[in-house]
A and B are shown apart, each in its own frame.
Chain A
Amino acid sequence: MAEFSTTHRENGEVNIIELNGYLDAHTAQHLEIAISDLIVKNKYKVVVNFERLKYISSAGLGVFMAFIETMRSNSGDIKLAAMQPSVYNIFDLLGFPLLYEIFPTETEAVNKFNQ
């Protein structure tokens, strides 16, 4: 029903995953595979660009929770960027901003890695 896709870019050491569409229980697996691929290649610095994400469900949130520890224990991180207000609200309500770094723009997130 809901369409979802991801695209992958690299900016130096930082891997950028762009989300597009609806991230829910049915499409979450898609994102899981995308992130697992990075782990296999030992790439632990990830910025997720939410600019074109329209909706996220609890299953979608779970994907980030599943991988954050792995990234951080390998001196990397998952940084979130460019969320629509409706999507940010969901993260905010759950307390994600207290545990994850969320940036207004992708560039800011990438820069944070490069500091």
Chain B
Amino acid sequence: MELTTKISQPRTQFFLVTAAGLFFFRMLFSADGFSLSFINEILVLLVFYFSLLNLNGLLSQKQFSPLTLVKSLLFLTLVTILLYMFLAGFRSLLGIDELELLTANTLFVSVITFAFDLLIIVILSYLFLVFRLLFFLKQRKNVKTYFTALLVFLALASFATLLDEYSGWDFVKMAFTANAIILMTINSLKISWIAFLTKKEKKQLLLFAFGLIILFGISISLLNSENGISKILNNFSPSLNYFNLLLNIYGVIYFSFLFVITLFHLPTAEAFDRKATEVSSLQILSRLINRVLDFKELGDTITDLAIKVCNADAAWIMLTDDETNTPVAPKNVGFVTADKIQSVLFSSKNKHALNEISFASVAVCNENETKNEQFCYAASAPLKSYNNINGYLFIAKKSEVPFDDEDRNALETFSDYASLAIENAKLLKSSIEKERLERELDVAREMQQKLLPQSIPQLERLDISSVFVPAFEVGGDYYDFFNLPNNKFGFIIADVSGKGISAAFVMAELRGIVESLVLTYDNPKEILVKTNAIIERTLEKKSFITAVFGVFDFTGEKLYLSRAGHSSILLLRDDNIREILPRGVGLGLTYSGKFEFYLEEYSLQLKENDIFVLYTDGITEAKDGKMADFGVATLKNIISASKDEAVDTIAKKIMTEVSLFSQGTPQHDDITLLLFKWKNNLEKQHG
């Protein structure tokens, strides 16, 4: 905006300066003789040019519809004619005769006539610009040459009036005029914007064009007659007068052609209107495809547009994954009627209806329905995507004229777009759901990670190593260490059945229970029995927990163990590896006395360099490409070959083997590994 005002300001000044120059020139010289006339014409041309520039600056900032341009032409010609009449009236009112007006003796008369001339210049330049805008409207090819040629010949013909006046060479003027008129005709044929108007607008345009032909005609007759107006203008500038005349002729030619062309366009206007609605509806829909999150909004838009596009009165959608067959986003139709129409369309006679567009005459109009529920014709279109049918789009109309081929095509195109939009909305919904689940699992994993020991206890007589690798779907593995009174050290390893956030919750509960129990108890069996009793409240019927609770007694150099359905405890002593598998059922398998009854209390006298390995089934059930298990045997082999290694090294070795084994297959369960290496009390031995 700032830029344009900056530029247009000096232009206004130029216009005013040249206009003032012209005024003083005319006051001083009476424009007799060829050279003075020529200077006069040049000055007029300059004023005209600057007026053109100023107005162009104003007009080019806006977008005009063809009808507003035509309306402004109507207004301009009307104003011009009124101006002519006003001047004629003004003259007779003041009693100034023609001659006085022409010679302009008094300053007053001079000012008045000059103001009139100046106004004519502005109006003409405006008229010319509007013509130009109309000409270039919706032009696809480069037609600039045609208009420039017209402009050149208009100018040449106008200036040739001087030659005509001073040398009598009227054939030059005639020749240029003839050329100009031919170009006007050619240019008038190049109207390409009529087709884009709606039927209503075309009718309006016919009226306007008719009015304009008459107004331009009146203007021409006023300019041609021997009345004062043409004399004043001719006296001011013969070229301008002639240019005015030519422009009016252009107007008559242009609007005569326009009138005829519009008349020819009228019969096809309706079809064009339809196509236009179709295109704009599809545009709305395709914009929706990428935006809609709200399925209801999408359905509403689809049915709204379907009514418009297919000339229907009612529309609704039925989705196949909804078993109740409830209409979605119904427009102008009740559930009962929609259901009736559906059953007619999908009747046994009409088997193809399920797979393609089908039309039917529905008898609903003959029934005793309320008036606004009477429909004579209905159609259904499947909403397909990748050969799946997501649902059906229904339309129905009240009129007794059936749906025609156009409606059929429209329904076909439209249902394709609609199914795309619905499919897209579905995909979006499921991807949001997936994202939500992923976030939920993130939370579960974080929860689990926080519930596990953050560091491994450093003990003098027990080397400890632990590995924990969570699966993508949290598995519910749990382990912990406890410093117990009386020189004892406890540990637990457990696996909650199930996955995801529910497993993580059970694990959190389990941790709470065990943490509080170890404050009072240090007997593995007792702790597991009490845990089973408490966990009953939390655990679902079909869930269970496997666990091993162990206690190292540093004084007695003994290990106490109880196993509730968990995998075996591996012991490497000297060169022998063995599985320790005390009897016991999983937590949650039974809440009766059987749990306690079957839970074995196992104890073992510890020996120097005893290595204990505990694990969850994430290790033994790790799968390779052929779905074979890693197995306990493999695990035992790795451990037996590592007699003299540190626990951390053994843990690393196991994990390397597991990951090599299961390369390329996703880890389906959590992996937990605990290793202990016992050292005898050296002081005691030596002492």
Contact = CB atoms under 8 A, between A and B. Distances in A.
Contacts of A96: 585, 589
A40 interface: no
Interface in A80-115: 93-96, 98-99
A58 B497 CA distance: 6
B497 A95 contact: no
Please indicate which of the listed interface residues A58, A62, A69, A94 has the most CB atoms of chain B within 10 Å of its own CB.
A58
B498 A95 contact: no
Contacts of A59: 497-498, 542
Given A95-B589, A98-B583, A62 B544 contact: yes
Please indicate which of the listed interface residues A25, A62, A63, A93 has the most CB atoms of chain B within 10 Å of its own CB.
A93
B594 A94 contact: no
B544 A94 contact: yes
B511 interface: no
B567 interface: yes
Contacts of B581: 93
Interface in A34-50: none
B541 interface: yes
A99 B565 CA distance: 12
Contact of B543 (A62, A93, A95, A99): A62
Please indicate which of the listed interface residues B567, B568, B585, B589 has the most CB atoms of chain A within 10 Å of its own CB.
B589
Interface residues of A, number: 15
Contact of B542 (A66, A94, A98, A99): A66
Given A95-B584, A96-B589, A62 B542 contact: yes
Contact of A65 (B541, B546, B583, B594): B541
Interface in A51-75: 58-59, 61-63, 65-66, 69
B382 interface: no
A65 B498 contact: no
B598 interface: yes
B565 A93 contact: yes
A93 B588 CA distance: 14
A79 to B, nearest CB: 16
A100 to B, nearest CB: 9
Given A25-B499, A61-B544, A66-B542, A94 B565 contact: yes
B250 to A, nearest CB: 79
A95 B562 CA distance: 13
A97 B543 CA distance: 17
Given A58-B497, A95-B584, A65 B589 contact: yes
Contacts of B544: 58, 61-62, 65, 94
Interface in B537-566: 540-544, 546, 564-566
Interface residues of B, number: 24
A66 B541 contact: yes
A26 to B, nearest CB: 12
Interface string B575-590: 0000001011110111
B582 to A, nearest CB: 11
A99 B594 contact: yes
Interface in B570-606: 581, 583-586, 588-590, 594, 598
Contacts of B598: 95, 98
A99 B585 contact: yes
Interface class of chain A by DSSP = helix
Contacts of A94: 544, 546, 565, 585-586, 589
Contacts of B565: 93-95
Contacts of B542: 59, 62-63, 65-66
Nearest to B568: A93
Nearest to B565: A94
Please indicate which of the listed interface residues B542, B566, B588, B590 has the most CB atoms of chain A within 10 Å of its own CB.
B542
A69 B588 CA distance: 13
A69 B567 CA distance: 26
B614 to A, nearest CB: 14
Interface in B212-248: none
Contacts of B589: 65, 94-96, 99
Nearest to B476: A58
Interface string A20-34: 000001000000000
B665 to A, nearest CB: 12
Contacts of B588: 65
B409 to A, nearest CB: 44
Contacts of A63: 542
A10 B566 CA distance: 35
Given A58-B497, A59-B497, A59-B498, A95 B583 contact: yes
A25 B500 CA distance: 12
Please indicate which of the listed interface residues A62, A65, A69 has the most CB atoms of chain B within 10 Å of its own CB.
A65
Interface in B640-685: none
Nearest to A54: B627
Nearest to A22: B627
A62 B594 contact: no
A110 B619 CA distance: 37
Contact of B585 (A25, A58, A69, A95): A95
Nearest to A25: B499
Nearest to B581: A93
Nearest to B584: A95
Contacts of A62: 497-498, 540-544
Contacts of A58: 497-498, 544
B567 A98 contact: no
Nearest to A99: B590
A67 B481 CA distance: 36
Contacts of A69: 541
B365 to A, nearest CB: 47
Contacts of B585: 94-96, 98-99
Nearest to A2: B627
Contacts of A61: 497, 544
B116 to A, nearest CB: 93
A65 B542 CA distance: 5
A66 B542 CA distance: 5
A62 B589 CA distance: 9
B502 to A, nearest CB: 12
A30 to B, nearest CB: 14
Nearest to B497: A58
A98 B565 CA distance: 11
B623 to A, nearest CB: 11
Interface string B494-537: 00011100000000000000000000000000000000000000
A103 B585 CA distance: 19
22 contacts: A59-B497, A59-B542, A61-B544, A62-B497, A62-B498, A62-B540, A62-B541, A62-B542, A65-B542, A65-B589, A69-B541, A93-B565, A93-B567, A94-B544, A95-B583, A95-B586, A95-B589, A95-B598, A98-B594, A98-B598, A99-B585, A99-B594
The 8 closest A-B pairs by CB, nearest first: A95-B585, A62-B542, A58-B497, A94-B565, A66-B542, A94-B586, A66-B541, A98-B598
Given A25-B499, A58-B544, 15 more contacts: A62-B542, A63-B542, A65-B541, A65-B544, A65-B589, A66-B541, A66-B542, A93-B566, A93-B568, A94-B544, A94-B565, A94-B585, A94-B589, A96-B589, A99-B590
Interface of B: 497-499, 540-544, 546, 564-568, 581, 583-586, 588-590, 594, 598
